[in-house]
Amino acid sequence: MSYILGISAFYHDSAACLIRDGDIVAAAQEERFTRKKHDPGFPAHAVTYCLAEAGISLKDLRYIAFYDKPLVKFERLIETYLSFAPKGLQSFVAAMPVWLKEKLLLRNLLAKEFTALAPGIKQSELPQLLFGEHHESHAASAFYPSPYEKAGVLCMDGVGEWATTSAWLGDGHTLTPLWEIPFPHSLGLLYSAFTYYTGFKVNSGEYKVMGLAPYGEPKYVKPIYEHLLDLKPDGTFRLNMEYFNYCTGLTMTGNKFDDLFGGPARKPESKLTQREMDLARSVQEVTEEVMLRVTRTLHDETGIEHLCMAGGVALNCVGNGRILREGPFKSIWIQPAAGDAGGAVGAALSAWHRYDDQPRPRGNGMDRMSGSYLGPKHSNAEIEQFLKRTEAPYELLADGVLFDRVAKDLADGKVVGWLQGRMEFGPRALGGRSILGDARNTKMQSVMNLKIKYRESFRPFAPSILRERVSDFFEMETDSPYMLLVAPVRETRRLPSPTDRSNLWGIDLLNVPRSDVPAITHLDYSARIQTVHEETNPRYYRLLKAFEAQTGYPLLVNTSFNVRGEPIVCTPEDAYRCFMRTEMDVLVLENCVLYKAQQKPLEKDINWQQEFELD
């Protein structure tokens, strides 16, 4: 057997992925173990987990594959500073110590970290270390696990080494680069600039901009096209760097950006105004237009029926939904860990298929991500041992009782923490580490946001729905197992808008029910959908079936099991702690069920919110 370990590290969202003869065995993000959101450090815990899951050691690896080429990235950094000199001096001085101390000597740093994981191994005994290009890793993560034998591949993010957008042709086990758009012209960085300007955190607040967009009007689209973005009919573009500061400064935008949009950036945590909503709507519409034009060009050039996507922009599920509905491709498949964490998957698979020239297995119509359930799992025996040690009252229920009981609790309006099976890989909770609620409940969105997640009230929630019932509720016929596609709620499910909206604006509109499943219907009658499949998550599927049997509704609100600023929970201990810190009613750890009313308060846990940096 041939084992290859893929690594993503030292920028943000560090992760590890282990493959065996081309099949993904395990993958996890470091943040889940360290409890530090977007942890950029060496993924020691994730590597240890992956090796343990396969029952192997470092010596059993054929290769270790890193997801980008730091020397090429350093070349881009130097050239950028020189081209903008002397304006880039401040950020140059800030960046150089880290590069000179660590990133230029990455091979030595990685060797040191790996030998620390296995003290008995010498550096000379480590497996061969390979470095792939950043967008090559993204492209490999998108195409190789996809269900397609042949596909166009589109990667869009902030920046890799030089590329910010790249197009590829995937055919069998080959990936051929077609074209790219280079730094500093970046759709991902344009979106991040507006994320920064609207007062959210870059690399984590982009979801908030997307969720805020329906509350606004696209009043700034014209200034964006006239001053910031020169967009061609084929989707290629250039940014006017006079308005941006990310090449030369320590912020995303500069004074000209402020002047264009009527003032300085919103201060984080300050009150949201209609301006931020309009800015969010505007950049979202521009982003969708670029995505649509680029994908149409890729289709025109290749004639391929299928599209694969990765890179941070591929997490823009509203844009993805429009590509599916309005674009020329028959189907699309998006890597569930589309950001840098997924680079670990791509690096490993690229080493197997491209470096070793190994074929892909014959497809069976399904992808090779195993539903993205690639992380650790915990047995009932382990969970019971923890609960007894904690002196937490619980019930151990057989499957025949469990699903009906939890379905009834949900139907009664209770909020349920749900830990089952292997942890998800990627930013979405998919029924392995989820907080669940009844989508019919008109209060569920505000309760979950304010009393469970402790986050902004405007942020929408997503539904999990039985795959075979998706078209009964949404204008969509396809699979969406990774919650990366947005689709409209069916007209027959919608409720009429109030005739008098003169006293309602922005966030006030949140309290107006828009369908018979109001908790998951966003302001524009859309929803970010996860289709649940019996083959990949039979236990979550059974819960949805039980809820359907009791209520007639085959869907639930599904949000990630964490509070704001915290990574998704990994262990039963993480889940219990989050359960006790919030107003969740029920906690389900495999077959163990806990009720909040029966628990004693956590001791010495008053200032717990200070543990997490607000994102």
185-235 pLDDT, tens digit per residue, is 999 999 999 999 999 999 889 999 999 999 999 999 999 999 999 999 999
Mean pLDDT of 333-342: 97
How many whole angstroms separate alpha carbon 453 and alpha carbon 439?
A: 16
Q: At residue 381, what is the residue type?
A: A
Q: At residue 311, what is the residue type?
A: G
Mean pLDDT of 405-431: 98
Quote the pLDDT of residue 68.
92
Asked if 426 and 374 touch (Cβ cutoff 8 Å), the reply is no
Instruction: Go through the chain and tell me how many residues it has.
Output: 615
Lowest mean pLDDT among 22-31, 73-82, 434-443, 484-493: 73-82
Mean pLDDT of 387-400: 97
| Distances, alpha carbon 435 to alpha carbons 144, 428, 569, 577, in Å | 31, 12, 11, 14
- Comparing CA positions, the residue from 487, 467, 465, 492 lying closest to residue 476 is 487
Quote the pLDDT of residue 517.
96
Quote the pLDDT of residue 451.
84
Q: At residue 259, does pLDDT exceed 90?
A: yes
Quote the pLDDT of residue 8.
97
Considering only residues 246 and 43, tell me which one the structure prediction assigns the higher pLDDT. 43
Mean pLDDT of 424-450: 94
Q: At residue 102, does pLDDT exceed 70?
A: no
How many whole angstroms separate alpha carbon 200 and alpha carbon 182?
A: 26
Mean pLDDT of 409-413: 97
Mean pLDDT of 577-585: 95
Using a 10 angstrom Cβ sphere, with 0-12 exposed, 13-18 middle and 19 or more buried, the burial of residue 614 is middle
What would the pLDDT profile of 133-167 be if each residue is shown by its tens digit?
999 999 999 999 999 999 999 999 998 888 999 99
- Comparing CA positions, the residue from 399, 322, 409, 359 lying closest to residue 586 is 409
Considering only residues 459 and 255, tell me which one the structure prediction assigns the higher pLDDT. 255
Quote the pLDDT of residue 122.
85
What would the pLDDT profile of 499-508 be if each residue is shown by its tens digit?
555 555 555 6
What would the pLDDT profile of 313-332 be if each residue is shown by its tens digit?
999 999 999 999 999 999 99
How many whole angstroms separate alpha carbon 343 and alpha carbon 27?
A: 11
Q: Which two tokens stand for residue 530?
A: 């996860």
Q: At residue 64, does pLDDT exceed 70?
A: yes
Quote the pLDDT of residue 325.
96
Mean pLDDT of 540-558: 98
Q: At residue 246, does pLDDT exceed 90?
A: no
Using a 10 angstrom Cβ sphere, with 0-12 exposed, 13-18 middle and 19 or more buried, the burial of residue 100 is exposed
Q: Which two tokens stand for residue 438?
A: 């009844």
Q: At residue 127, does pLDDT exceed 70?
A: yes
Mean pLDDT of 7-25: 95
Asked if 234 and 297 touch (Cβ cutoff 8 Å), the reply is yes
Mean pLDDT of 112-121: 90
Lowest mean pLDDT among 386-390, 495-499, 511-515, 564-568: 495-499
Q: At residue 144, what is the residue type?
A: Y
How many whole angstroms separate alpha carbon 610 and alpha carbon 606?
A: 10
Considering only residues 71 and 147, tell me which one the structure prediction assigns the higher pLDDT. 147
Quote the pLDDT of residue 245.
86
- Give the mean pLDDT of the chain: 92
Which spans in 505-595 are helix H? 538-551, 572-581
Using pLDDT thresholds of 50, 70 and 90, give the confidence band for residue 98.
low
